[in-house]
Structure 1
Amino acid sequence: MPEWIGRDAALARLGVRAQTLYAYVSRGQVDMQPDPADPRRSLYRTEDIEGLRTRRGRSRRVSAVAASTMAWGEPSLETAISTVHHARLLYRGQDAITLAGQATCETVAALLWDDTGPVGFPGPMQGANDPFSALAMLIPASYPALGRGIDKLQADGAEAIGYLAQALGAASDLSLLHHRLARGWGLDSSYDEPIRMALVLIADHDLNASTFAVRVAASTGASIPACLLAGLATLSGPRHGGAANAAMVLLHDARESGVTRALTRHLATGQKLPGFGHPLYPMGDPRAAALLAALPPDALTRQLWQDAAEQTGVKPNIDFALAALASTGAFPPDAPFRLFALGRSLGWVAHAVEQVTAGSLIRPRGIYRGRLPAD
């Protein structure tokens, strides 16, 4: 799919007159640029056209509009933390792909938390062996989030991430988080950089499912560790953080039986190919492209994503890239989930604090389809 299309193609996809298309441009809903081949003509951003077409196809009843916000619909909560703008992931206005070139978890946390001071994640001398227990053990002794200063909430978040990191296998010391994780997993120093990049790229991603769960918990005044536990529980689902593990299965299948046979088997199920495609990135997930480019060359991995893209028309997403990273060495079997959980926890803390300071309870209404009493 081209990133830019001509006027006639845009009108055909939207099913509107030219005046309506121009109105969308004037309102900032569709981005436009001159055609390099003919400056008298204009090109229109495909992503914007497709987004408009999807939204216009929905019923515009109030209840339908409200329901549509829950499934890749219109923005429903204000945030200054991150967004996807014209297929670019931004952390407080800074390009996440650029940040991934050299930023650490510590510097990205300071950015996402809007914190001017240095951020560290001290690990406990002795903690739980699994991430759910690590966060749960902090909750009984934690203060509720309401009425407390932002610095106190961020300190709670740093402590919770320290506990989470150690439960995910990071070494317990005061070095940078990606060093601790590589060392705790018994990997040599060559893995430090791709692990650092992966954690930065996964740190936040608009109002994804786990981040929304964190904000719901935070809106009730729950403690920061409790908010992170809500996010971690949501992340554990196969449609979210578990998607990278499904991509690992696909990679393993390709190594065992060959790329063509593995793709044939997975496509025959009729299910979406794990690790490919993303609704916010119709031209391809830039996080995946950045991470895959930083990994050692691997002929089978490259053939898998190229053949899959050719057969399905979609490119790898960050789940596939995390699986590809984990397949390059002696990583833990669930390394993609661990990377996802640790990296995303940076954003969870930012969203929890932002929601607490907003001071509102997130409480949507349900559309009741059950029985009613007879009059």
Structure 2
Amino acid sequence: MATWITMDEVCTQLGVQPQTVYAYVSRHKLEATPDPADPRRSLYRAEDVAVLAQRKQAGRKPETLAANTLFGSQPSIPTALSTFHRGRLYYRGRDAVELARGATLEEVARLLWGAQQPVVFACPAAARVARPGRVAAFTGLAGLAATGHSTQGRLTAVLHEEAQSLVGPLAAAFGAGTGKAPLHLRFAQGWRQPADAAELLRSAMVLLVDHELTSSAFTARIAASAGASLPACLLAGMTTLSGPLHGDASGRVQALFGEVERSGEEQVLTHYLSTGLPLAGFGHHLYPDGDPRAAALLALFEPPPVIARFIAKVQKLTGLRPNIDAALAALVAHCRLPADAAFGLFTTARSIGLLAHSLEQLSVAQVIRPRGRYVGPPPG
């Protein structure tokens, strides 16, 4: 839960006058709420104050700014695609959790891409693969990247059509059916799931479409800034996404849940807590009050009993709530989806965001080229 502090505490921590605090509030950098003990006064969100204090302490040195640009908490590239506000994720100003209640992946793609026409991720029957999975997905996309046309000198409408043509076959490579139906229905068809499971897949994928300037989005933008083809931009982002600290994090959670199913939640939890090992899938630095995407998804189904008990006990003993990686792994277990389904759903959904970042970067018309700060032996 959020922590609230007084005006005097804010001024002391930031070294500013009350007028500056009011300015932070008016610019939505600091959240305020009425003091329950005295409605004439306000309390201020301590987490916001900590962020402001960190920025102030970092100073304006070029070295500090450069390091923060690449490794810090502040984005260095302007984007209108998605952002975080008061512990919630928004796509172009619309709450992602609210969109997940009914929007299709195609509708969210149209929103993020700013497409004039409805988006359809059609996939011909000839694109069906014999052995669905990440090998088929990466191999197919690599072939397109090797022969694709540069994005330079091409109209946005044409690029939107090409982007649509990439997502459908990518989904099919992970096991979705072919045709023109919405992707969640085609995934349910390919994995032989009922209609209620299709709705769960739809909600999960909408929640995963974008997450501001992630490492994979940044990689895709670098490729786009150099004029690479859309499949090359998407492939660049996907290779970064495949890391276990990013889009394949659900694989780590699935391994943890596997331990729980084999040994029981008490034994596994005791082992992890007694040795200080981190619990994959719990906590998120961007959501100190809990990942709203995970809460929204987990509210739609009941995980297997042993996993549900494990999640509840972890939260009780550590205070950490499950994040979207844990929710996605629980969904795979609930529906008994293929082993690599979590990565397939994540990658297919996030491909829309990666393409959105690539398209947005084209309007900048400047190559992303950070400078290195040399710290090796002196030259010569």
- Return the TM-score normalized by structure 2: 0.92
Match of 1:184?
190
* 1:167 and 2:166 are equivalent in the alignment: no
Match of 2:6?
7
Match of 1:201?
207
Equivalent position SS for 1:358: coil
- Measured in 1, the distance between the counterparts of 2:243 and 2:165 equals 25
Choose 146-155 or 121-130, whichever is displaced more: 121-130
* Aligned pairs for 1:19-168 within 5 A: 19=18, 21-58=21-58, 60-127=60-127, 129=132, 130-168=136-174
Aligned residues of 2:11 and 2:21 also touching (Cα < 8 A) = no
Aligned residues of 1:121 and 1:158 also touching (Cα < 8 A) = yes
Aligned residues of 2:145 and 2:235 also touching (Cα < 8 A) = no
Cα RMSD for the two superposed structures: 2.1
- Measured in 2, the distance between the counterparts of 1:12 and 1:266 equals 41
Aligned residues of 1:11 and 1:18 also touching (Cα < 8 A) = no
Q: 1:256 to 1:50 in 2, by over 3 A?
A: farther
* 1:258 and 2:264 are equivalent in the alignment: yes
How big is the shift at 1:265?
Answer: 2.5
How big is the shift at 1:285?
Answer: 0.5
Deviation per CA, 1:65-109, whole angstroms, max 9, x where unpaired? 221122342221111111111111111111110000000011111
Q: 1:75 to 1:116 in 2, by over 3 A?
A: same
How big is the shift at 1:35?
Answer: 2.1
Aligned residues of 1:89 and 1:96 also touching (Cα < 8 A) = yes
Deviation per CA, 1:265-298, whole angstroms, max 9, x where unpaired? 3345544321111111111100000000011354
* Aligned pairs for 1:306-345 within 5 A: 306-345=312-351
Choose 164-173 or 308-317, whichever is displaced more: 308-317
Question: Which residue of 212, 219, 233 corresponds with 1:213?
Answer: 219
Aligned residues of 1:47 and 1:86 also touching (Cα < 8 A) = no
How big is the shift at 1:204?
Answer: 0.7
Aligned residues of 1:247 and 1:275 also touching (Cα < 8 A) = yes
- Measured in 2, the distance between the counterparts of 1:240 and 1:116 equals 31
Match of 2:309?
303
Deviation per CA, 1:309-341, whole angstroms, max 9, x where unpaired? 233222111001100100113211121111110
How big is the shift at 1:8?
Answer: 6.5
How big is the shift at 1:21?
Answer: 4.1
- Measured in 1, the distance between the counterparts of 2:339 and 2:148 equals 32
How big is the shift at 1:13?
Answer: 8.8
How big is the shift at 1:58?
Answer: 3.6
Equivalent position SS for 1:319: helix
Q: 1:18 to 1:298 in 2, by over 3 A?
A: farther
Match of 1:273?
279
Aligned residues of 1:322 and 1:336 also touching (Cα < 8 A) = yes
Q: In structure 2, give the amino acid aligned to 1:234.
A: T
Match of 2:245?
239
Alignment identity in percent?
44
Choose 292-301 or 105-114, whichever is displaced more: 292-301
Aligned residues of 1:10 and 1:49 also touching (Cα < 8 A) = no
- Measured in 2, the distance between the counterparts of 1:57 and 1:259 equals 43
Deviation per CA, 1:140-172, whole angstroms, max 9, x where unpaired? 432101111111111111111112111111011
* Aligned pairs for 1:345-356 within 5 A: 345-356=351-362
Aligned residues of 1:3 and 1:45 also touching (Cα < 8 A) = yes
* Runs of at least 5 residues in structure 1 that lack an aligned partner in the other structure: none
- Measured in 2, the distance between the counterparts of 1:18 and 1:263 equals 47
Q: In structure 2, give the amino acid aligned to 1:98.
A: E
Match of 2:294?
288
* Runs of at least 5 residues in structure 2 that lack an aligned partner in the other structure: none
Q: 1:372 to 1:272 in 2, by over 3 A?
A: same
Equivalent position SS for 2:218: helix
Equivalent position SS for 1:49: helix
